Amino acid sequence: MLARHQDPIVAVATAPGRGAVGIVRVSGRGLAPLARRLTGRDLVPRVATYGPFLDAEDRPIDQGLALYFPAPHSYTGEDVLELQAHGGPVVLQLLMARCLQAAAEGELLPRLRPAEPGEFTERAFLNDKLDLAQAEAVADLIDASTEAAARSAARSLSGDFSRRIEALRDGLVELRMLVEATLDFPEEEIDFLEKADARGRLARLAERLDAVLDTARQGALLREGLTVVIAGQPNAGKSSLLNALAGAELAIVTPIAGTTRDKVSETLQIEGVPVHVIDTAGLRSDAEAADEVERIGIARSWEAIAGADAVLMLHDLTRALDPDYAAADRAIEARLPDRSRRVHVFNKTDRVDAEHRAAVLAGVPEGERTLTLSAKTRDGLEALRRLLLELAGWHASPDGVFIARERHLTALRRAREHLELAAGWAARRDEALDLFAEELRLSHDALGEITGAFSADDLLGVIFSRFCIGK
């Protein structure tokens, strides 16, 4: 395992396909001879040099910029050589093959091999150029689907998140040192808790941790987004609503019940939060469905509903007072997720008067969220957007949010629980000081998992294998 981490590696660093410029990047120890062989000259460190990239017969494969970063001053912390060529897939493959060939010639760099996904960034982590949260932010920056997500990933990459975690860990270390010093003098235990204001310190740490957790939750939302399913009877206007939200004719809309057969989805952004909206086949009983295709579509609708963060249950206002229609709506509602994750949306306000609307709303049970709108005129759409953000739990302005992952939230929650347990021991006037110390240690370790200061080996494999090759 360790030896593999030291093999020199090579990969195309730019996206597959054609581009103005494409980069082949090599990282490892002792790259200077390889650089000389490929460019025919000695490169000045960190200065872009224009010239040919040479094949085995010293003929140019391409002309471009070569960059040499001697260790440790590089992205990976090892020697890095970049060949910045023209961005064609064939020329880049040729250059990469040439690197491997040149490395093999005369045992110049015999262990050079193509890089695995994320291996450059993994090395940056192993060589202390980035901590784990920063390395993850590299991938999140590349994958960001909205401007707010990209900005918050850049904030994590620059170390904002990590610094807040480290500050919490420093606070815990101070407290642990006090406790552990006192452990050697058991007769002074109770005194210690008072004198050092251990409980006050603990409470302040918990408060700070809560603030970080809150921001991290917002950051995770920017990364993952919110999945919203539009469900309801045929013809309620589900596809019309998707199209209205997306501002494009994505799904087919007709007056025929049973138009939508398969799921149609689109990712919108509302204040920078990615919202994945899924339009589904109208729900009706198997007996009412026109054919096998529609029945399969309806089964998929239920699957989508089960996997949603929130469900918009769409009702047709023009039909809502019809007892059969209302009964079918009740049957669907009985199978929807709980109230906190669903909203009753009454559509087609443009076709009913205020009296009719009031009569329909009067029939909605207490405690259900409701909204009226017209997918056709778009009246009420802004209110729906705001409601979606509220359902997502978004309450921040994107400034100041750093990107975070579920993994980080889990670690933060665990750190918080151990602080809670520590507080429980601190409140007892008996010999619980060692248990208090142990909970502090566990909290400290949980936080350490975020930045990788404390980590399981397989965690790194899981994280870096999800990167793209060359990153």
- 125 is a site residue for ligand FFO (CB under 6 A): no
Question: What is the Cα–Cα distance from 169 to 192, expressed in whole angstroms?
Answer: 21
Question: What is the Cα–Cα distance from 327 to 336, expressed in whole angstroms?
Answer: 15
Is 348 marked as a binding-site residue? no
Stretch of 134-142, 373-381, 389-397, 403-411 lying at the interface with ligand GTP (CB under 6 A): 373-381
73 binds, among ligand FFO, Mg ion, ligand GTP, none (CB under 5 to 8 A by kind): ligand FFO
Beta bridge partners of 115: none
- 257 is a site residue for ligand GTP (CB under 6 A): yes
Give the helix/strand (H/E) hosting 29. Answer: none
Question: What is the Cα–Cα distance from 355 to 244, expressed in whole angstroms?
Answer: 26
| Residue number, nearest CB to ligand GTP | 282
Q: What is the DSSP string of 273-284?
A: EEEEEEE-PPP-
Stretch of 43-51, 196-204, 238-246, 363-371 lying at the interface with Mg ion (CB under 5 A): 238-246
Under 8 Å between Cβ of 268 and 245: yes
Residues 79-118 that bind ligand FFO (CB under 6 A): 82
Question: What is the Cα–Cα distance from 348 to 354, expressed in whole angstroms?
Answer: 12
Binds ligand GTP by CB under 6 A, chosen from 27, 39, 156, 260: 260
Stretch of 1-9, 210-218, 228-236, 402-410 lying at the interface with ligand GTP (CB under 6 A): 228-236
- 282 is a site residue for ligand GTP (CB under 6 A): yes
Q: Rounded to the nearest whole angstrom, what is the least distance from the CB of residue 211 to ligand FFO in the complex? A: 30
- 236 is a site residue for ligand GTP (CB under 6 A): yes
Is 127 marked as a binding-site residue? no
Site string for Mg ion, 270-309 (x = CB under 5 A): ----------------------------------------
At CA 159, angle to CA 154 and CA 164, rounded to 5? 125
Beta strands in 1-125 (DSSP E): 9-12, 19-28, 49-54, 60-69, 79-87, 113-114
Under 8 Å between Cβ of 362 and 372: no
- 14 is a site residue for Mg ion (CB under 5 A): no
Q: Which is nearer to ligand GTP, 360 or 422 (CB)?
A: 360
Give the distance, in angstroms, between the CA of residue 269 and the centroid of all CA atoms in the same chain: 15
Stretch of 71-79, 208-216, 336-344, 395-403 lying at the interface with ligand FFO (CB under 6 A): 71-79
Q: Rounded to the nearest whole angstrom, what is the least distance from the CB of residue 25 to ligand FFO in the complex? A: 6
SS3 237: coil
Q: Which is nearer to Mg ion, 119 or 294 (CB)?
A: 294
Residues 199-228 that bind Mg ion (CB under 5 A): none
Q: Which is nearer to ligand FFO, 72 or 186 (CB)?
A: 72
Under 8 Å between Cβ of 470 and 11: yes
User: DSSP assignment, residue 70?
Assistant: -
Is 19 marked as a binding-site residue? no
The one-letter amino acid code at 276 reads H
Stretch of 150-158, 185-193, 248-256, 423-431 lying at the interface with ligand GTP (CB under 6 A): 248-256
Residues 324-353 that bind ligand GTP (CB under 6 A): 347-348, 350-351
Query: Which residues, 6+ apart, have CB-to-CB distance to 12 below 8 Å?
Result: 22, 23, 24, 25, 92, 93, 96, 469, 470
451 binds, among Mg ion, ligand GTP, ligand FFO, none (CB under 5 to 8 A by kind): none
Region for residue 118 given its phi and psi (left: phi exceeds 0; alpha: psi -120 to 50; beta: otherwise): left
Under 8 Å between Cβ of 26 and 130: no
Q: Which is nearer to ligand GTP, 146 or 374 (CB)?
A: 374
Query: Which residues, 6+ apart, have CB-to-CB distance to 368 below 8 Å?
Result: 339, 342, 344
Task: Give the orientation angle of helix 160-183 with respect to helix 147-157, to 10 degrees.
Answer: 40
Stretch of 66-74, 275-283, 308-316, 354-362 lying at the interface with ligand FFO (CB under 6 A): 66-74
- 69 is a site residue for ligand FFO (CB under 6 A): yes
Q: Which is nearer to ligand GTP, 37 or 348 (CB)?
A: 348
Under 8 Å between Cβ of 10 and 114: yes
**Interface residues toward ligand FFO, by CB under 6 A:** 23, 69, 72-75, 82, 129
Binding residue numbers for GTP: 235-240, 254-260, 279-282
**Interface residues toward ligand GTP, by CB under 6 A:** 234-240, 253-255, 257-260, 281-282, 347-348, 350-351, 374-376
Binding residue numbers for (6S)-5-formyl-5,6,7,8-tetrahydrofolate: 25, 82, 129, 471
**Interface residues toward Mg ion, by CB under 5 A:** 238-239, 259-260
